[in-house]
Amino acid sequence: MQILTLTQKEVIELLDPYELLTALEGGFKALSANQLNVPPRNQVTAPKGFLLGMPAYMPNHHMSVKLVSVFHENHKLNIPGHQALITLFDSETGTPIASMDGEYITALRTAAGVILSIKLLARENIRTVAIIGAGVQGESHLRMIGTLGGVEKIWIASRNISRAQDLASHDSRALVADSLQQAVSNTDAICLCTSSSEPVIKLEWVKEGVHISSVGYRPPGGELPRDVIENSHLFVESKNAFLPPPIGSAELQGLNPEFGTELGEVLLKKKPGRRSEKETTVYKSMGHAMEDLVAANLAYQKAILQKVGKMIEL
């Protein structure tokens, strides 16, 4: 048995942000049309972190399984807090065909989902975006913001000012905010991408008509305030976001799933997106196996065409 292996460097070179957005749009539509087979993700807990398993099947794609570990204290060892491996299996035979770095895919597909939510749900012609958090997700968000037209200013805010300064240095439009409140109060779209176990913004900071996205996962708490959620028009990847962790979001516990709308439902025009210029929209991302599947399939297809990667005999 031979399997194609792709390094992180190769995955970075293969994944085009614009192509990924197109693939994700198709994936969200298929998800809301009930065309996927995605079992609830499972979790194995160790003393300092946990390991999640995320399998998925989607028609006309190879099956995927992502294993992702979340160890929040790894920064003390200069090791990423999230590490991941994705394996693809031929959907006709079940044969393993590829194994690739999943760390970059996880970061970029998550940020791409946020950008898709901005395109769908934010007011037209937004000019400013705030990134709260300057870690791996902050970096991927800044990279994906490059696909948005018309953005003139990007506020970067972090409790670690040196990391915020470093991230801001990668984009001429980026400014380091003096505080979280300054960043949040002066923007059209707010991207929360921290590992905080408690809310990092306040409802009174949020101006009328803003779009907020949140990708942080730190049960039993989280970065997104409950009062912000309850006073907004809420969107999710899947209604499974309302289930208890590790399947769903800690911040959404106790809410009726009908309170949220799936992005795919908006794309399929089954439900409305933004209903007025004044309403606040919120996209709470839990990360979904569909996103890993479409990104890994895209990387694999391009690797085969470009003859990238190394074949290993198992």
The sheet carrying 49-56 orders its strands as 42-46, 49-56, 63-70, 82-89, 96-101, 2-6, 310-313
Can you tell me the distance from the alpha carbon of 247 to that of 176, in angstroms, rounded to the nearest whole number? 34
Nearest to 38 by CA among 268, 264, 309: 264
Q: What percent of the chain has pLDDT over 70?
A: 100
Instruction: Give the model confidence (pLDDT) of 159-216 as tens digits.
Output: 999 999 999 999 999 999 999 999 999 899 999 999 999 999 999 999 999 999 999 9
Instruction: Give the model confidence (pLDDT) of 44-67 as tens digits.
Output: 999 999 999 999 999 999 999 999
Stretch 224-250: mean pLDDT:
96
Q: Which two tokens stand for residue 247?
A: 């399947």
HSE (side-chain half, CA atoms, 13 Å) at 269:
0
Between 72-76, 144-148, 231-235, the lowest mean confidence (pLDDT) is in: 72-76
In Å, how far from its chain's centre is CA 139?
A: 12
Q: 2-105+290-313 and 123-287: same fold? A: no
Nearest to 52 by CA among 298, 286, 314, 294: 286
Stretch 22-44: mean pLDDT:
96
**CATH of range 2-105+290-313; options 1.10.510.10, 3.30.300.90, 3.30.1780.10, 3.30.420.10:** 3.30.1780.10
Stretch 77-85: mean pLDDT:
93
Instruction: Give the β-pairing of 211-214 and 310-313.
Output: unpaired
Stretch 218-230: mean pLDDT:
96
Answer yes or no: are the C-beta atoms of 83 and 52 closer than 8 Å: no
Q: Please say whether the dihedral angle defined by the alpha carbons of residues 162, 167, 171 and 174, taken in this order, is positive or negative.
A: negative
The answer for residues whose C-beta is within 8 angstroms of residue 159's C-beta and 6 or more apart is none
Can you tell me the distance from the alpha carbon of 70 to that of 53, in angstroms, rounded to the nearest whole number? 12
- Tokens 């399984």 identify what position? 65
**52 beta partners:** 43, 68
Instruction: Give the model confidence (pLDDT) of 110-153 as tens digits.
Output: 999 999 999 999 999 999 999 999 999 999 999 999 999 999 99
Say yes or no to pLDDT of 75 above 90: no
- The domain ranges of the chain are 2-105+290-313, 123-287
Can you tell me the distance from the alpha carbon of 312 to that of 31, in angstroms, rounded to the nearest whole number? 33
Say yes or no to pLDDT of 1 above 90: no
Fold of domain 123-287 = Rossmann fold (3.40.50)
